[in-house]
Structure 1
């Protein structure tokens, strides 16, 4: 039996008895490969330059492992809970949480990449080969070509001398291990804190900062003026017809509590869009079943957290009465209980029930949202 080049091919029995060097030679001959140059990167073994190169590469891999370990430590134990600027020490470390995650992970990946590049440059043979290729008449590679190709790969690994470079192997193993551990822990990190631990309070997934903490408590609609410690409440006459304003919860008990005032405007699920419809538009409103009394006259309040992936729905189009999310272009109809009419969102925005406090004349929330705000999660029933 012979190939198109009239080369005598070995039988299956002969092929099984060949060692790697013989398979490499046979594969090159069958594939029409001519090795113009196949230099040994280190013809003289054990030189100082070779050892120095090995130590340098091992150092980069070790650095990758150390940075990967630092990433895990920062992700799990670094102070991540918000601390106000008034608590200078805690606030300083809190501000460094996200930068530390980025720096440690970036250094780990960069160091590992540098180690691989240096190893390829210093220890992988840089042969020069000329080869004529065909696709075996469209049939792909047969068993003979697969075995000889595998032999070529094994030979390249052997010539790279990785098997006898324990420092590099240990460093690379450490780096890969830490990066792999970080990859495995990253999706699990959210389970370290039980999201339902405080499910009955305003800190749970089912509630927001608009939840009354005690019976009869009044939670007012508060403007944000740029100063988180300034309290400016909203009266109906403060908004023109066809306008929208972002508001936050305020309790009288928090008036002199700078930390609580700051948290109220920083908490992710607190922002609410207060919309005052034009009279001619208010007549066209279609209310959601069970939420017929959630508005106060022409005033409607919807969460600012998009039901798609939680972006801020910060745009309101007066002419069409549509609420827009700039992240993925979801649109919600303010005249139909903020139900989605365009884009990937599939649920209406949660509506906050509001009314007027007869004693002060300020707008206030009747109670918290009756459904979780924002995107879905496993246990969500709506």
Structure 2
């Protein structure tokens, strides 16, 4: 019994020692975390570069980087000049080659100059000390935020951005000039003239027959069956020298419904013929072709952004981002039974943004 009691007492004493040791270890660990002490990750000693030791070489590298930024500026300006000096002429493939070649060379100079210059700056002039950044799972305290400002200040000092004025100014200049070719390219996509009058008038005219696309065969009213829908164009447009955009503007979707299904507004009662009705095929959202027709619901669907139009109510918008109905082409028949246009569209075709003031 005495031996058992002694063993028990010894075990209890040993347990206390272990507990005290664990508590001491936990306290020590807490102290390490609280003081943010990080063990040395084992970085190799820093090896100074030539620019760190020789001020003359440092200035040479600074001038090289600045020269690369100047090359970027020159390349961007040349790209804009090349785009203007070598315009693309319809049917002239050499003009396309010249425009692509010189515009591409200018853009390449602009991008490579600023890219290589930035890399060369970081490799030869910025301080290259290895460092370890601690991650924090929560928002930092005021002290931490102040430390962040200190880090940014130190980064500015190490990069030389604040004191190397030549580098800073040429870099800013290159960044400002680099987007100019893109601005020139996208700005030139706009028409030279006010687009509203251009889109207000199409190739359609009074008495012009509706023809199948692409055959160009005139269509008789008796040829259009109930529930059918197909694209039509003005007769003779394929034989003319009109540009392709003229044909695109004049594209019309022809549909036949029961006359009693149509609900025309006042003044448009005569714009259709025996249930045959015609609308512009160009969506009023961004100009995609409205090509899908649902016979049961009498809805036209634009596949690009899912705008839907109800042709029983003059192609009114019932869903999607389109802002206004599809323009309607007034039609009738001539003495031979062929479908003809009463006039041009009464409103501009295409996207609604063309009607906004520039």
TM-score, normalised relative to structure 1: 0.66
Determine the C-alpha separation between the residues in 2 that align with 1:380 and 1:173. Answer: 35
Write out per-residue CA displacement over residues 194-213 of structure 1, whole angstroms, 9 at most, x where no aligned residue: 316x83xxxx2322222x4x
Instruction: Check 1:334–1:108 CA distance in 2 against 1; reply closer, same or farther (3 A cut).
Output: farther
Match of 1:224 in 2: 213
Does residue 140 in structure 1 map to residue 142 in structure 2?
Answer: yes
Match of 1:304 in 2: 281
Which consecutive residues of structure 2, in runs of 5 or more, have no partner in the other structure?
Answer: 1-30
Does residue 45 in structure 1 map to residue 54 in structure 2?
Answer: yes
Decide whether the 8 Å contact of 1:354 with 1:365 is kept in 2.
yes
Match of 1:207 in 2: 201
Residue 322 (structure 1) aligned to one of 287, 299, 306: 299
Instruction: Check 1:316–1:65 CA distance in 2 against 1; reply closer, same or farther (3 A cut).
Output: farther
Determine the C-alpha separation between the residues in 2 that align with 1:100 and 1:233. Answer: 47
Determine the C-alpha separation between the residues in 2 that align with 1:31 and 1:290. Answer: 85
Counterparts of residues 1-382 of structure 1 (less than 5 Å): 38-42=46-50, 43-45=52-54, 55=64, 61-62=69-70, 64-73=72-81, 79=87, 83=90, 88-89=91-92, 93=95, 108-109=110-111, 112-132=114-134, 138-141=140-143, 144-145=146-147, 148-158=150-160, 163=164, 172=171, 175-182=174-181, 189=188, 193-195=192-194, 199=197, 204-210=198-204, 212=205, 218-225=207-214, 231-250=216-235, 257=240, 259-260=241-242, 263=243, 267-277=247-257, 279=258, 282-358=259-335, 360-377=336-353, 379=355
Decide whether the 8 Å contact of 2:122 with 2:159 is kept in 1.
no
What's the offset of the Cα at 1:303? 0.7
Instruction: Check 1:293–1:77 CA distance in 2 against 1; reply closer, same or farther (3 A cut).
Output: farther
Instruction: Check 1:45–1:371 CA distance in 2 against 1; reply closer, same or farther (3 A cut).
Output: same
Which consecutive residues of structure 1, in runs of 5 or more, have no partner in the other structure?
Answer: 6-28
Decide whether the 8 Å contact of 2:230 with 2:254 is kept in 1.
yes
Write out per-residue CA displacement over residues 65-118 of structure 1, whole angstroms, 9 at most, x where no aligned residue: 34433443455565457x3xxxx43x6636987998788657744653444344
What's the offset of the Cα at 1:348? 1.1
Write out per-residue CA displacement over residues 189-232 of structure 1, whole angstroms, 9 at most, x where no aligned residue: 57783316x83xxxx2322222x4xxxx532223232xxxx642
Determine the C-alpha separation between the residues in 2 that align with 1:355 and 1:303. Answer: 16
Which of structures 1 and 2 has the bigger CA Rg? 2
Determine the C-alpha separation between the residues in 2 that align with 1:107 and 1:315. Answer: 46
Write out per-residue CA displacement over residues 12-47 of structure 1, whole angstroms, 9 at most, x where no aligned residue: xxxxxxxxxxxxxxxxx9998989555544345379
| Structure with higher helix content | 2
What's the offset of the Cα at 1:127? 2.0
Aligned pairs, how many?
Answer: 321
Instruction: Check 1:65–1:33 CA distance in 2 against 1; reply closer, same or farther (3 A cut).
Output: farther
Instruction: Check 1:118–1:307 CA distance in 2 against 1; reply closer, same or farther (3 A cut).
Output: same
Write out per-residue CA displacement over residues 258-278 of structure 1, whole angstroms, 9 at most, x where no aligned residue: x23xx266544221111123x
Determine the C-alpha separation between the residues in 2 that align with 1:99 and 1:243. Answer: 49
Identify the range of structure 1 (288-297 vs 111-120) with the bigger mean alpha-carbon deviation: 111-120
Instruction: Check 1:350–1:127 CA distance in 2 against 1; reply closer, same or farther (3 A cut).
Output: same
Decide whether the 8 Å contact of 1:274 with 1:302 is kept in 2.
yes
Write out per-residue CA displacement over residues 215-264 of structure 1, whole angstroms, 9 at most, x where no aligned residue: xx532223232xxxx6422222443322221122245xx7864x23xx26
Instruction: Check 1:48–1:161 CA distance in 2 against 1; reply closer, same or farther (3 A cut).
Output: farther
Q: Secondary structure at the match of 1:153?
A: helix
What's the offset of the Cα at 1:157? 1.9
